[in-house]
Amino acid sequence: MDWAALEADLGTALPSDFRSLAAAYPILVVDDFLKVSVPRPGAEASWASESREDEILQDLYEMGDTEGYVPFPQPGGLICWAESNSGDSFYWRTSPADPDAWPVVVRTDNGDWSEFPVGAVEFLADVYRRTLDVPGLPRDFPGDDPKVLGLSDRID
């Protein structure tokens, strides 16, 4: 992964835990529900462009449905790093200046917004362990025997 090129195109550094996650799991799907948007080598510019031009978030912002959150690249703007198969979105709020201190913001498909003072990896681990309650996510996520699919698993 050419992180320098990706971050230059994006206009900001990314959290180190996400960079480590992307190196370990080039594909990551949790319990057939939550898919982490991992950049692919050679497609760094595309990932950066999609992150800068999040049309759904921009539309919500223009409709006044973001509870004060703003799209990136505005200061403190949101960058999406994961989505669910039911329309939930998982973001970083790009404030403070240190990407390793960015909190996770979740917008569920029913319009609930929640912010958590943890990084992406800690957020995923806590959700997986069921030690973090995310209002608006399905009560059965993750399931009793949650699966994590990675690069070696077949994803249709």
CA 78 to chain centre: 9
Spatial contact of 106 and 113, defined as CB atoms under 8 Å apart: yes
What are the backbone dihedrals phi and psi of residue 94, each rounded to the nearest 5 degrees, phi first? -80, 50
Question: The tokens of 93 are what?
Answer: 């709020």
The pLDDT tens digits along the chain (156 residues) read: 899 999 999 999 999 999 999 988 888 898 889 999 989 889 999 999 999 889 999 999 999 999 999 999 999 999 999 999 999 999 999 999 999 999 999 999 999 999 999 999 999 999 988 899 999 888 888 888 777 776 554 444
Spatial contact of 63 and 55, defined as CB atoms under 8 Å apart: no
